[in-house]
Amino acid sequence: MTETHPKPEMASENTIPILVEFTGGLEMLFSDERKHRLSVPSKDDEGNPVNIGWLVKHLCDKVMKDSRKEMFVLDDHVRPGILVLVNDADWELEGEASYALQPNDNILFVSTLHGG
Amino acid sequence: MESANASAAALRAKIAATEERLKLLKAQLANIEEKEAEEVEESPVTRKWPLLPDEYKRYGRQMIVPSVGIQGQLRLKDASVLIVGAGGLGCPSSAYLAGAGVGTIGIVDGDIVETSNLHRQILHNSSTVGMKKVDSIVSYLKSLNPHLKYITHPTHLTPQNAAEIVSQYELVLDCTDHPTSRYLISDTCILLQKPLVSASALRRDGQLIVLNSPPLPAGDAKGGPCYRCVFPKPPPTDSVVSCGDGGILGPVVGVMGVLQALEGIKLIVEGRLKEEQEVDGRGNTMLLFSASGSPQFRSLKMRARSSKCVACSGNAELTLEKLPGMDYAVFCGIASPIGILKPEERIEAKEYLELEQDSEKTHVLLDVREKVQFDICSLENSINIPSSSFQGTRSSSLQEGKPSWLPETVRADASIYVICRLGNDSQIVTQKLKEAGLDNNGKRAIKDIRGGLKAWKEQVNPSWPEY
């Protein structure tokens, strides 16, 4: 697995390049790949800028091949025990699901570990 | 055979007697050393020195680090730290705290040392298997640094004993392995205003976070966040994977334990155990470690205390009086043993042995452990299709008709027996195979072997390797 940072790319008019990462075991739900380079539309179906809420649904519907959706999303929210980081900052500091994605954003999903 | 047993028993008795004798000699030596130390202290010339001569030598290399100095060393000597869990995190963290000269070290653990602990729980050893973990760890720590006070709590931390135990210390290290204990420890630390260094590890990953630092009273937004601020809701029970189920690399959990000790030493040396206000420029961070990551370490900027937190906000309902009545197992959910199949859909391991020996009847034995486990040991003629490969919606292991893993030569009515490590995943897969129509409307029997390979070892083959 090669792991590199995304090359700064210019956002085309319709899409935004982002890097989505999974760690703490979540990568197992996403084809065992920690890093996913995605190109997402800049606007959702209603013409609003896409946010993390949209991204979570997109990941669940389009990227995740595992059938255990409940291990990622519960009741339309990221399941308890998963932290979401926007460019290495807790998404709570950035507006949570309403944070509008920017070109070359790094969105990290961390599953809490409990072992010791 | 009998004479071998007799000589083994004689040897065991001899070893026990020798160990007793050794214990006595060690106690005598400790007695003499203690007296020597007292004599040195009482000598009028050296009396003004706050540390013993051995301590100056012992801690010299760390005392000359500018951020430590003699003041930091005396703070370490005065400090008391509680380590909850004497396992993969507790071993390295307690070793470094004892090495650094933390005056009082308490260890909580109700478990005994097992052979499967030894690859990572580095203070225990082959001869302490079967011993209480707290005794095993303290025997190591005493030989590492005899100047300190060690207190053992040979019990699990519970809502009933937590406040009494934690109140005896100034700093807590969470070295446990389950969400129930993590919430309990965090709540107790909030109620008693103790800073908390929390770490965890699984497989090749580790996480570290310093909580309740500064340890301000509930309702003070400048205090550090608690475990509930970061994780207000517990994770679903089936997302909680233990080191026993998921695996763990020794150095991974070791690195996390060492980092816990480091954070603890920093808090003590910098005089931040009872700090009354936040120091500027220090935000809350979580450190991620991943053996296979690039970079391996990653520091994440974390939220502050939550104004809605049930433990540390102004609206908190948690009190010391309520703590003993809290049920953390209910809060976190209890992983109940899986029992989704009817009795007639399951067979015992010893019944399977009879089937295996009956060459007339053909059948398929499906082992659904992960390949890495199957490679360690497997039953003859078994086919390995990991249970995880039945999870995908477009899983090729579950395609309609005859799946590719089913040998061509197998008859359409040949039974399928499903086995795994403990007998949980095998039930789920058995059900999935039936749902996919592989039972040919009842013409083909599909059954799970109750209790998995653990039962196989118990009922059929005691030489089966248990890992």
Give the torsion sign (CA, B119, B124, B127, B129).
negative
CA distance B34 to chain A (A): 36
**Average pLDDT for A53-81:** 91
What pLDDT does residue B170 have? 97
Is the confidence at residue A2, as pLDDT, over 50?
no
Cβ within 8 Å, pair B239-A23: no
d(CA B121, CA B91): 6
Chain B residues in contact with A34 by the CB 8 A cut-off are 292-293
Q: Does A95 touch chain B (CB under 8 A)?
A: no
Of chain B residues 362-421, which have a CB less than 8 A from chain A? Answer: 388, 391-395
What pLDDT does residue A3 have? 46
Closest Cα in chain A to B202: A115
Q: Confidence band (pLDDT; 50, 70, 90) for A4?
A: very low
Percent of chain A with pLDDT over 90: 69
Q: Does A89 touch chain B (CB under 8 A)?
A: yes
**Quick check: is A93 in a domain?**
yes
Burial of A15 (0-12, 13-18, 19+ CB in 10 A): middle
More confident residue, B397 or A24: A24
Composition of chain B by helix, strand, coil, percent to 5: 40, 15, 45
Out of B202, B236, B302, the one facing A115 most closely (by C-beta) is: B202
Chain A residues in contact with B90 by the CB 8 A cut-off are 116
d(CA B431, CA B447): 9
Instruction: Evaluate whether B85 touches B109 at the Cβ level (below 8 Å).
Output: yes
**Nearest by Cα to B51 from B82, B76, B27:** B76
**Quick check: is A16 in a domain?**
yes
**Quick check: is A1 in a domain?**
no
Give CA B453 to chain center in angstroms: 24
Per the annotation, binding residues of B for Zn(2+) are 226, 229, 309, 312
Closest Cα in chain A to B299: A88
Is the confidence at residue A8, as pLDDT, over 70?
no
Q: How many domains does chain A have?
A: 1
Out of B179, B202, B232, the one facing A25 most closely (by C-beta) is: B202
Please report how many Cα atoms fall inside a 13 Å half-sphere around the Cα of residue A46, on the Cβ side.
Answer: 4
**Residue A89 DSSP SS3:** strand
**Nearest by Cα to B104 from B165, B48, B150, B140:** B150
Mean pLDDT of successive 10-residue stretches along chain B, which has 467 residues: 76 86 85 69 67 95 96 97 98 98 98 96 96 97 97 97 97 96 97 97 96 93 94 89 90 98 96 73 85 93 93 92 94 79 91 78 88 94 89 60 77 88 92 87 90 94 92
What pLDDT does residue B297 have? 97
What pLDDT does residue A116 have? 87
Residues 6+ apart with CB under 8 A from A61: none
Chain B residues in contact with A112 by the CB 8 A cut-off are 200, 207, 231, 235
Interface A:B, Cβ pairs < 8 A? 118
Is the confidence at residue A87, as pLDDT, over 90?
yes
**What does B14-59 look like in DSSP terms, one character per residue?**
HHHHHHHHHHHHHHHHHHHHHHHHHHHHHSTTTTT-SS-HHHHHHH
What pLDDT does residue B2 have? 64
Q: Does A25 touch chain B (CB under 8 A)?
A: yes
Chain A residues in contact with B298 by the CB 8 A cut-off are 88
Is the confidence at residue A40, as pLDDT, over 60?
yes
**Quick check: is A97 in a domain?**
yes
d(CA A86, CA B378): 44
Of chain B residues 260-319, which have a CB less than 8 A from chain A? Answer: 286, 288, 290, 292-294, 298-303
Q: What is the ipTM of this complex?
A: 0.87
Out of A65, A68, A89, the one facing B394 most closely (by C-beta) is: A65
**Average pLDDT for A72-89:** 94
What pLDDT does residue B102 have? 98
Instruction: Evaluate whether B264 touches B82 at the Cβ level (below 8 Å).
Output: no
Of chain B residues 151-180, which have a CB less than 8 A from chain A? Answer: 174-179
- The CA distances from residue B63 to B56, B59, B74, in Å, are 8, 6, 10
The greatest distance separating any two alpha carbons of chain A, rounded to the nearest whole angstrom, comes to 48
Domains plus CATH for chain B? 53-331 (3.40.50.720), 343-459 (3.40.250.10)
Per the annotation, binding residues of B for ATP are 88, 109, 116-120, 133, 177-178
**Quick check: is A116 in a domain?**
no
Composition of chain A by helix, strand, coil, percent to 5: 20, 35, 45
Chain A residues in contact with B253 by the CB 8 A cut-off are 115-116
**What does B291-321 look like in DSSP terms, one character per residue?**
TTSSSSEEEEE-----TT-TTTSTT----TT
Cβ within 8 Å, pair B234-A80: yes
Catalytic residues of B: 243, 420
Residues 6+ apart with CB under 8 A from B167: B192
Cβ within 8 Å, pair B199-A23: no
d(CA B113, CA B126): 9
Of chain B residues 227-256, which have a CB less than 8 A from chain A? Answer: 230-236, 238-243, 246, 248, 253, 256
The domain containing residue A35 runs over which residues?
7-111
What pLDDT does residue A99 have? 96
Q: Does B87 touch chain A (CB under 8 A)?
A: yes
Cβ within 8 Å, pair B391-A90: no
Is the confidence at residue A67, as pLDDT, over 90?
no
Please identify which residue in the block is written with the tokens 């000699």. Answer: B25
> What is the domain-level CATH number for residue A59?
3.10.20.30
Q: Does B182 touch chain A (CB under 8 A)?
A: yes
**Quick check: is A91 in a domain?**
yes
**Quick check: is A2 in a domain?**
no
Q: Does A80 touch chain B (CB under 8 A)?
A: yes
